[in-house]
Structure 1
Amino acid sequence: MIRQLVPARAQGAGIRTGLRWKLSAAIALVGALVAIALSLVVHNAARVSMLDNARDLADERVQIAQRNYEQSGRPNFYFPNIKIDDSRLPPALREKVRDGRRATFVSDRRRGGPDIWAAVPVKDGHVLSLHTGFTDRSTDILNDLDQALVIGSIAVVLGGSALGVLIGGQLSRRLRKAAAAANQVAKGESDVRVRDAIGGVVRDETDDLASAVDAMADTLQERLEAERRVTADIAHELRTPVTGLLTAAELLPPGRPTELVLDRAKAMRTLVEDVLEVARLDGASERAELQDIVLGEFVARRVAAKDPDVEVRVVHESMVTTDPRRLERVLFNLLANAARHGKPPIQVTVEGRVIRVRDHGPGFPGDLLAEGPSRFRTGSADRAGHGHGLGLTIAAGQARVLGARLTFRNVRPAGAPEHIPSEGAVAVLWLPEHAPTNTGSYPTMP
């Protein structure tokens, strides 16, 4: 059996409509149905009432004509529509009169108003009947009523739509505020409260949702904080024995086994120091120590001291205010990642406040491009096998402390499809125009 797989984006695709328009359409639809139902009921009730009045009037007139006829022996000329044995008398009414009963009857015409009939048997065996139509005044009243009902129905629909837009707009606005606050929480701003963001005096389900999101965010924050503390404590506790192990390894006699032990001990120490640094960065307690530096000259000097084979090109020089130690840490981690996972030549370009580090390897893995650096994830097989995955995580954390933005992309030929291998990876560090202060805030221009 063949199954067609539908991409996730196609499954989630659809027409996106606002809550206010859905609510407005629902209220308008309900209002229209109610207005139509009430209009039909009122119209039918008014028509039935008018017909009953007309039948009563015709019945009264035919009774008067009956008395006059039986006294004088001829129809009453005060009612010109009175006839004796009218051939047009409806059969149903004729049957009732033959049974000796006085009756009225209403017959509908294809055009115009209904016909009102009233008939009564008289003593000589004849049938006295009255035939009238729906009066013009009654027809006008019914037409005016229908017009008023139509206007009222339209007003109800429009008013319901406006009310739906108003109520839906308020609810939609609260939900958008809640979504924006939740996105801020997702980005790591733990001091944001969704309930405070939506505001409002009247409590509804939106407040319940906001409170639940706040409670969930607090629980996750507590768990992350507990995880960070455990990680930091473990790394801190490992620092002493690892340092002792490294010292002891240095006392071993020279030889290949000693070199292997020293290499693993140094790797363990680097890992412990990196884990401690990640824990400090996750705690959001790090503050930049700012200095004014000439960015191009600084990068060229530090890169030359680190790896003379790396090409540095300064396109545009600029003066920046940043933390040189943290900037160097970001730069060296990017160079180490390019050397470990990429291929030479490695190039560093400085243009204004932007630093680009490019290699000519297989490129960054897709999950890193989509989600950003993640600790202990070294990427796909073509960029894996070395390191512990903390280098880019530390670089991204130090960039946040600097108020900078670190992005990653792969270099492909222009117009090349996704399956074409990339021609290298580029990490771009965007330094801010206004560097963060020592308190973590950003200065504003007067």
Structure 2
Amino acid sequence: MTGRRRLGGRWVRRRPLRTRLALAASAAVALVAVGVCAAAFVVLRVQLTRQMDLNLAQTAAQLAHRTRNWGPTAADTSCRYEAVPCVQVVPTDPARDAHGRSPALPVSPTTREVAAGRHAPFYTDLTVAGYPVRMYTSPLPGKDEALQVALRSDTVDRGVRQAARALAAVGGAGVLFAAGLGYWVSRTGLAPVARLTATAERIATTRDPRHRIDLPAGPPAREDELTRLAASFNTMLGELEQSVTAQRRLVADASHELRTPLTALRTNAELLARADRLTDAQRDRAAAALGRQLREVTTLVNDLIELARDEEPTPLLEQVRPAALLAHAVGAAREHWPDVAFTTRIAPEAATTALPGVPARLTRLLSNLLDNAAKFSPPGGPVETELTPVAGALDLTVRDHGPGIADGDLPYVFDRFYRAGAARALPGSGLGLAMARQIARAHGAELTAERAPGGGALFRLRLPVTPHPPEGVE
């Protein structure tokens, strides 16, 4: 028995979800339909029997008050007629039975006890002259006798059988309706799941995340859980598509950016391999170029690794003062770009403001902005930095007086490896601003670029003063 149950349960679990839902819905509706029909049959049978018992009791009461002189005959107790009651008087003493004949209706010791007043009235189902009857036995008031009244129960039995057949037909129709309803519910209710499954299988086969699930038209307020699931799945597919596209673009851009320095490295390495044919000056220049190119490749690879994480590492979080970080970054930039005039203006209210952050990463952000500004500044041109408080935040701006940013380049200045036409002749890999925005977002800050009034580029970093821990830092 246990083995059969296990096999049945395993068979159900192996069925598709649509089949299991249809079976569950059909079983639930069928169970309700069968239960209602069974309950109706029981109630109908009880009510018919109760009605017959009331008729017997009323007939016995009427006969007991109508006459006191009983003379039962064979016709009275034959029960040949469905609507005619069978009547018999039973004395306490069997010797007093009518004319000494045996009674036509069965007499039990309980009947004699009712006649003597020692037992309560009762009902009995029995067969008389081949007919099913129901008999009521009650005492006659003022006499040591019992009155038996019987009615044929053919009509009740026939009505019960007819009701059983009708209810069985209704129950069968209910089961068939339940099966159809279960199929319709599973097909309609799981339609979004079927579309989701088909889309997922298509993506797994084609490895193309551009596929989407078709959503029903209608206001969002009328969406059900499955529709919201499909919408969330479409959103997830959009994010996956963007991630795959960004990964492919990163790989393509990285391979393009690495190709030139690697070629130069190979050339200088081959040149140094024939050092015996070079003069000392040529050998020194080749070695210096090789070292410089190694540093550029190392920096580029490190930047790629940090950008590929797409999140900040988890160093120790500290309370930092942007004013101090800005002063330190400007001092380092002056040493690296001696031909550029860096100026700093810090509002008194912002000088002592502290906020949670990672000092090394924020310093890297400021260094990238300052290096970018210095790279585009004309010789001797100024780079202006300013730190001022605004509502709930600090505004840090870096402005140069170079050629500025063209309108067509503004949407892309923070993209990886993107370099404007004016910057392609300058050193760099196009990763500095992308890394700066990544660090800003990790700290809950906003980094934007715009054309400065009067020429040049203006980068604005808005740091929230309210605590906002960097991503990955708890």
Which TM-score applies when normalising by structure 2?
0.44
Work out which of the two has the higher radius of gyration on C-alpha atoms and give 1 or 2: 2
TM-score, L = length of structure 1: 0.47
